[in-house]
């Protein structure tokens, strides 16, 4: 709760709105206790007095009634009616929406079609019709406004409920023996409550306006009772001669609605976890670079990464995701980057063409030399020319990297046209040629399909084709086979290997799977907790892992042919990005060979056999 | 043998989804998800169900747990038809552990609240007993007591999976379906969870049905294995027999495709990998278009189940005969 208030108060406008609303509430609800004149006493001798007249702070209306008193009493009434209407329609609308969303099928159909019918009428017409049937009066106006707004709540809540009802924890609750009613009350309701609160907070202002509108038309509060709408209605007849009678209630309506809306938006932002973390801030096209050092630049290698550190900034702190990463890739070489989640492998891969989203990502140090040029010193236009051209990416899930609404062929053409100005049919020819290269059968059918119409393996072939469009020299493949079935994985791996040999491609292959990496890579880097812990030839690391992390991890991966058994384990879990311990070995507290020095000494990468290892007591 | 007591059985279990094309086209097509499956599970046994995505293994598992109604066929749990159990009683006998440990916990409830649900609704314990049971089980799965008042998002995948295991155990059900129990976890944490599952099985005399796409995981914890392809059982055998001597060419393809350290994959790149269209199943064996050992008969006839000793398969031209 305190957190919630903090979040709201961080938003200055919401804070202003909140304070305004509280002020209006306090004053108007205190009106029975304030030394005010009776709002309904008429005194025709004092008609139309201007504000600040003696005895009448805000002047009087056409019957000589005190405007200040009428305004406060009226505000109180309008607020009460507006809020009650909001609560009534929220309750009924949410119940209908939850039931429709949870039970689905016929129940859903019947309820939602009824709601659709309600929505088909213009709301004011519907409200008028309801008041016409019930008769004029403030209570009836409130009922009308509430009814008119039920569809809005029902539709919102239904949408949220459908999403939640399909979550696994609902099935889990069913397996815990809960019945439908218990599930709705105990599992679903807590999850839709924030949505209900947000919807109320953003509609209350609207409902106050609608009630005022009905009163203005003479269908709401009846004379002499004052509410904001009826005051406006009475003032209208003398708008030109005595404008203050309309301006005063008008200003109050304005203040209430603006206050409620600002505050409502604030609540919405504070309750939405994505918004409160600032994730909806549009990321920059290039990672923010705060590198201070200009390290000796190695211009001879094909790709040379030196001391690359990438961090994420959140909660006012900088958390390093990868620390001082240095490696080279030669022409035609496949380098494997192995690590578990949080090891910094993907961040490193994305940093190469500055693709880490900023905010929160920042490259804090290092240099990346690609064919003699430091990418980190390039401007955006030049980096853009590299991406998808000389350096291209293949990602884990092709369903989310391919555009769902554009046909495969069109996307391939686009990838080509973006980097090379082409004649009319050139892009099409190139695209089909590539589909053939990645061994897709029925090219013409695939060309005219949407991504969701293809299987996972076919989609990954398409994204490989797309990566190859502009004759890249380096392909960065981030877990390209993790989402695929084993039989498909085997084929994609052999396809990548074939293409590499045919085209002399360099590949940076990122994976968590030693088996996969050993299929395709020449050299391997093992990462742990953002650091390189071991680097060497694939064969020598697979046969003779020097770092205890590598060897223990390889042992505990189940492999086929050993039967049912107790598996070797590594205790604990990998470090998270917020764990900060820069002294000693990061793996020390999980290592079976831990010695005291491991916790206190600084551990550097050192040569051991064919490999480089960051360990004080490596395997012999 | 007393050990071979059968506690779960299904006969000719099928699930079809009807897909009506549009309101103008009344002709609806039937999508076949699971087709005529026969399974048995014995007491204290773990049965692995392995297959690629779309083979129907999750649909099958959810039917067994009563989460999806089958289109036809029967399920018997403890020699009693599944329909004879009430909704509140069935979870006392069979439980389901979900693949994604975090999304199977209500994000707005503490772990304590989530764990107390089965005790309250299934076992009808009072608050003091609930408290005792939860504290006991949390030790069983190697978690600390102070975790109980935290919310799901504060846990790592491995910890959340332990919580999932704890919840399943609290129901006292003896049959547990584990849906991809470790696929969402980090490699170094997988083996911890697999060992824990093995230990708990012995301690509480549980029977597991383990669903996974990962043959190595299945081998590490299962006694018997069922290989599914396109909604049907391709092959079923004791774990040891199946991994040493696969009979069905599909099983062999799966085994050959697993990438192993220091061993290049021997699968040719050119084999077709596309699954048949479930709206329009092939006339013959569903695997024939991908099969290396295909003979003429395979294109036109569907193989029947062949039973040899304690294993069975559906193939006209098996390997290692």
Which residue blocks in chain B are alpha helix, DSSP H?
Answer: 57-64, 111-117, 127-140, 157-170, 187-204, 215-221, 239-244, 249-257, 296-300
Long-range contacts of A44-50 (CB under 8 A, 24+ apart): A48/A238, A48/A241, A48/A242, A48/A245, A50/A244
Domain positions in chain A are 70-276, 398-470, 539-557+565-613
The confidence score (pLDDT) of residue A58 equals 87
Alpha-carbon distances, residue A328 vs A146, A369, A503, B76 (angstroms)? 67, 9, 20, 61
Residues of B in contact with A191 (CB under 8 A): 106-108
A439 touches chain B (CB under 8 A): yes
Residues of B in contact with A560 (CB under 8 A): 215-216, 219, 243, 255, 258, 260
Residue in B156, B265, B274 nearest the CB of A455: B274
Asked if the Cβ–Cβ distance from B103 to A489 is below 8 Å, we say: no
Contact A316, A443 (CB under 8 A): no
Q: Rounded to whole angstroms, how far apart are CA atoms A152 and A204?
A: 12
Which residue blocks in A337-481 are alpha helix, DSSP H?
Answer: 345-351, 380-386, 398-401, 408-419, 426-437, 443-447, 456-468
User: A453 pLDDT band (50/70/90 cuts)?
Assistant: confident
Task: Characterise B78 by phi-psi region: left (phi > 0), alpha (psi -120 to 50), beta (else).
Answer: left
Asked if the Cβ–Cβ distance from A169 to B258 is below 8 Å, we say: no
Residues of B in contact with A568 (CB under 8 A): 191
pLDDT of residue A525 exceeding 70: yes
* Residue of A3, A167, A486 best to disrupt the B interface, most CBs of B under 10 A: A486
Contact A98, A187 (CB under 8 A): no
Cα nearest neighbour of A552 on chain B: B188
B261 touches chain A (CB under 8 A): yes
Name which of B93, B105, B74 is nearest B9 in CA terms: B74
Task: Characterise A360 by phi-psi region: left (phi > 0), alpha (psi -120 to 50), beta (else).
Answer: alpha
**Counting beta carbons within 10 angstroms of the beta carbon of residue A240, is it exposed (0 to 12), middle (13 to 18) or buried (19 or more)?**
exposed
- How far B253 CA sits from the closest chain A CA (Å)? 7
The confidence score (pLDDT) of residue B292 equals 84
User: What mean pLDDT do residues A384-398 have?
Assistant: 89
Residue A68: CB partners within 8 Å, gap ≥ 6? A36, A56, A57, A58
Residue in B53, B100, B108 nearest the CB of A190: B108
Q: Rounded to whole angstroms, how far apart are CA atoms A481 and A479?
A: 6
Contact B171, A176 (CB under 8 A): yes
Domain positions in chain B are 2-17+31-250
Helix (H) or strand (E) holding A153: helix A138-165
The 10 Å CB-count burial string (b at 16+, else e) for A70-84 is bbbbbbbbbbbbbbb
Name which of A204, A232, A208 is nearest A218 in CA terms: A232
Which of residues 8 through 37 in chain B touch A, CB cutoff 8 A? none
**pLDDT more than 90, % of chain A:** 34
Contact B106, B152 (CB under 8 A): yes
* Residue of B86, B195, B258, B279 best to disrupt the A interface, most CBs of A under 10 A: B258
Q: Rounded to whole angstroms, how far apart are CA atoms B320 and B311?
A: 13
Beta bridge partners of B179: B211
The confidence score (pLDDT) of residue A296 equals 56
- How far A292 CA sits from the closest chain B CA (Å)? 35
Asked if the Cβ–Cβ distance from A439 to B269 is below 8 Å, we say: yes
Residues of A in contact with B65 (CB under 8 A): 175
Characterize the bridge pairing of strands A523-528 and A334-338.
parallel
The confidence score (pLDDT) of residue B84 equals 93
What DSSP character marks residue B121?
Answer: I
User: What mean pLDDT do residues A60-78 have?
Assistant: 90
B280 touches chain A (CB under 8 A): no
Task: Count CB-CB contacts under 10 A for residue B220.
Answer: 28
Peptide bond preceding A360 in cis form (omega within 30 of 0): yes
Which of residues 53 through 72 in chain B touch A, CB cutoff 8 A? 53, 65, 67
**pLDDT more than 90, % of chain B:** 55
What pTM did the predictor assign?
A: 0.84
Angle CA(A516)–CA(A493)–CA(A495) in degrees, nearest 5? 165
Which of residues 377 through 436 in chain A touch B, CB cutoff 8 A? none
Listing DSSP states for A109-143 in one string gives HHHHHHHHHHHHS-HHHHHHHHHHHH-SSHHHHHH
* Residue of B260, B272, B275, B278 best to disrupt the A interface, most CBs of A under 10 A: B260
A105 touches chain B (CB under 8 A): no
What is the per-residue pLDDT across A273-298, written as a single tens digit (0 to 9) for each?
Answer: 555 555 556 678 888 888 766 655 66
pLDDT of residue A378 exceeding 90: no
The confidence score (pLDDT) of residue B271 equals 59
**Counting beta carbons within 10 angstroms of the beta carbon of residue A33, is it exposed (0 to 12), middle (13 to 18) or buried (19 or more)?**
exposed
- In CATH, B2-17+31-250 is 3.40.50.300: yes
Least confident of A423-427, A449-453, B129-133: A423-427
User: What mean pLDDT do residues A597-610 have?
Assistant: 86
Least confident of A150-154, A386-390, B9-13: A386-390
User: What rounded mean pLDDT belongs to chain A?
Assistant: 87
Task: Count CB-CB contacts under 10 A for residue B310.
Answer: 10
pLDDT of residue A2 exceeding 80: no
Residue B9: CB partners within 8 Å, gap ≥ 6? B39, B40, B41, B75, B76
User: What mean pLDDT do residues A129-142 have?
Assistant: 89
pLDDT of residue A218 exceeding 90: no
Kindly report the three-state secondary structure assignment for every residue of B198-234. Answer: HHHHHHHCCEEEEEECCHHHHHHHCCEEEEEECCEEE
Asked if the Cβ–Cβ distance from A495 to B269 is below 8 Å, we say: yes
Asked if the Cβ–Cβ distance from B156 to A441 is below 8 Å, we say: no
Which of residues 441 through 460 in chain A touch B, CB cutoff 8 A? 441, 455-458
The confidence score (pLDDT) of residue A275 equals 58
Can you name the CATH fold of A70-276? MetI-like fold (1.10.3720)
Least confident of A248-252, A423-427, B264-268: B264-268
ipTM, two decimals: 0.88
* Residue of B261, B266, B289, B292 best to disrupt the A interface, most CBs of A under 10 A: B261
**pLDDT more than 70, % of chain A:** 96
B171 touches chain A (CB under 8 A): yes
The 10 Å CB-count burial string (b at 16+, else e) for B163-196 is bbbbbbbbbbbbbbbbbbbbebbbbbbbbbbbbb
Low-confidence ranges of chain B (pLDDT < 70): 1-3, 19-29, 266-273, 321
Contact A422, A416 (CB under 8 A): yes
């Amino acid at each position: 709760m305190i957190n919630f208030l903090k979040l709201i108060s961080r938003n200055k406008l919401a804070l202003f709105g909140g304070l305004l609303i509280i002020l209006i509430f306090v004053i108007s609800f205190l009106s029975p206790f304030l030394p005010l004149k009776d709002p309904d006493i008429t005194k025709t001798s004092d008609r139309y007095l201007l504000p600040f007249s003696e005895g009448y702070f805000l002047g009087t209306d056409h019957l000589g009634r005190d405007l200040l008193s009428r305004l406060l009493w009226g505000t109180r009434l309008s607020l009460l009616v507006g809020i009650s209407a909001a609560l009534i329609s929220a309750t009924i609308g949410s119940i209908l929406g939850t039931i429709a969303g949870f039970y689905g099928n016929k129940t859903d159909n019947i309820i939602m079609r009824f709601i659709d019918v309600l929505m088909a009428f213009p709301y004011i017409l519907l409200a008028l019709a309801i008041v016409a049937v019930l008769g004029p009066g403030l209570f009836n106006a409130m009922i009308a406004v509430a009814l008119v707004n039920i569809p809005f709540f029902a539709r919102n809540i239904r949408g949220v409920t459908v999403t939640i009802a399909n979550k696994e924890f609902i099935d889990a609750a069913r397996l815990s023996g809960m019945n439908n009613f218990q599930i709705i009350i105990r599992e679903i309701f807590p999850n839709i409550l924030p949505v209900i609160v947000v919807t109320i907070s953003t509609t209350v202002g609207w409902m106050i306006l609608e009630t005022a509108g009905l009163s203005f038309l003479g269908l709401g509060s009846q004379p002499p009772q004052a509410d904001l709408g009826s005051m406006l209605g009475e003032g209208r007849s003398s708008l030109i001669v005595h404008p203050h009678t309309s301006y005063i209630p008008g200003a109050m309506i304005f203040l209430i609605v603006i206050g409620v809306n600002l505050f409502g938006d604030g609540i919405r932002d504070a309750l939405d976890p994505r918004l409160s973390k600032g994730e909806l801030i549009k990321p920059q096209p290039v990672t923010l670079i705060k590198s201070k050092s200009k390290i000796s630049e190695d211009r001879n290698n094909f790709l040379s990464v030196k001391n690359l550190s990438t961090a994420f900034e959140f909660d006012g702190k900088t958390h390093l995701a990868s620390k001082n990463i240095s490696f080279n890739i030669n022409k035609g070489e496949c380098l494997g980057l192995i690590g578990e989640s949080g090891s910094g492998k993907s961040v490193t891969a994305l940093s190469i063409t500055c693709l880490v989203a900023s905010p929160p990502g920042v490259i804090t140090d290092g240099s990346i030399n690609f064919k003699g040029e430091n990418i980190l010193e390039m401007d955006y236009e030049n980096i853009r020319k590299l991406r998808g051209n000389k350096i291209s990416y293949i990602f884990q899930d092709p369903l989310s990297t391919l555009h769902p609404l554009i046909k495969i062929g069109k996307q391939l053409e686009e990838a080509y046209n973006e980097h090379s100005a082409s004649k009319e049919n050139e892009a099409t020819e190139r695209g089909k040629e590539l589909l053939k290269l990645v061994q897709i059968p029925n090219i013409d059918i695939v060309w005219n399909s949407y991504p969701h119409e293809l299987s996972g393996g076919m989609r990954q072939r398409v994204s490989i084709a797309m990566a190859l469009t502009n004759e890249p020299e380096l392909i960065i493949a981030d877990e390209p086979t993790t989402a695929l079935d084993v039989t498909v994985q085997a084929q994609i791996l052999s396809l990548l290997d074939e293409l590499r040999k045919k085209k002399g491609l360099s590949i940076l292959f990122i994976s968590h799977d030693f088996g996969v990496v050993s299929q395709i890579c020449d050299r391997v880097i093992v990462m742990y907790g953002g650091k390189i812990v071991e680097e060497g030839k694939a064969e020598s690391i697979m046969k003779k892992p020097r770092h205890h992390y590598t060897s223990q991890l390889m042992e505990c991966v189940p492999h086929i042919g050993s039967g049912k058994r107790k598996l070797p384990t590594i205790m604990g879990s990998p470090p998270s990005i917020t764990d900060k311990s820069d002294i000693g070995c990061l793996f020390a507290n999980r290592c079976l060979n831990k010695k005291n020095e491991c916790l206190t000494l600084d551990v550097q990468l050192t040569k051991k056999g064919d490999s480089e290892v960051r360990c004080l007591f490596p395997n012999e | 043998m007393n050990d071979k007591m059968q506690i779960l059985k299904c006969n000719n279990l099928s699930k079809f989804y009807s897909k009506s094309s549009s309101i103008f086209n009344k002709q609806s097509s039937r999508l076949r998800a699971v087709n005529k499956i026969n399974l048995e599970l014995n007491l204290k046994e773990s049965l692995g169900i392995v297959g690629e995505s779309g083979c129907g293994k999750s649909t099958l598992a959810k039917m067994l747990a009563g989460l999806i109604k089958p289109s036809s066929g029967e399920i018997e749990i403890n020699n009693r038809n599944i329909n004879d159990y009430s909704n509140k009683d069935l979870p006392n006998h069979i439980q389901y552990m979900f693949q994604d440990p975090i999304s199977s916990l209500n994000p707005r409830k503490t772990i304590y609240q989530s764990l107390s649900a089965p005790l309250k609704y299934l076992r009808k314990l009072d608050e003091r007993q609930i408290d005792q049971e939860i504290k006991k089980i949390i030790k069983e799965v190697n978690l600390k007591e102070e975790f109980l008042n935290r919310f799901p998002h504060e846990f790592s995948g491995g910890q959340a999976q332990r919580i999932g295991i704890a919840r399943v155990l609290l129901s006292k059900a003896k049959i547990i379906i584990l849906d991809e129990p470790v696929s969402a976890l980090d490699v170094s944490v997988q083996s911890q969870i697999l060992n824990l599952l093995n230990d708990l099985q012995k301690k509480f005399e549980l029977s597991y049905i383990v669903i996974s796409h990962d043959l190595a995981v299945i081998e590490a914890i299962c006694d018997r294995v069922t290989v599914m392809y396109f909604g049907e059982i391709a092959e079923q055998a004791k774990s040891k027999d199946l991994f040493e001597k696969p009979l069905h060419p599909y099983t062999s393809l799966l085994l050959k495709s697993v990438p192993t350290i220091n061993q290049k994959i021997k699968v040719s790149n050119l084999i077709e990998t596309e699954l048949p269209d479930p709206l329009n199943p092939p006339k013959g064996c569903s695997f024939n278009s991908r099969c290396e050992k295909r003979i003429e008969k395979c294109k036109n006839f569907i193989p029947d189940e062949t039973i040899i000793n304690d294993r069975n398969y559906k193939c006209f031209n098996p390997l290692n005969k």
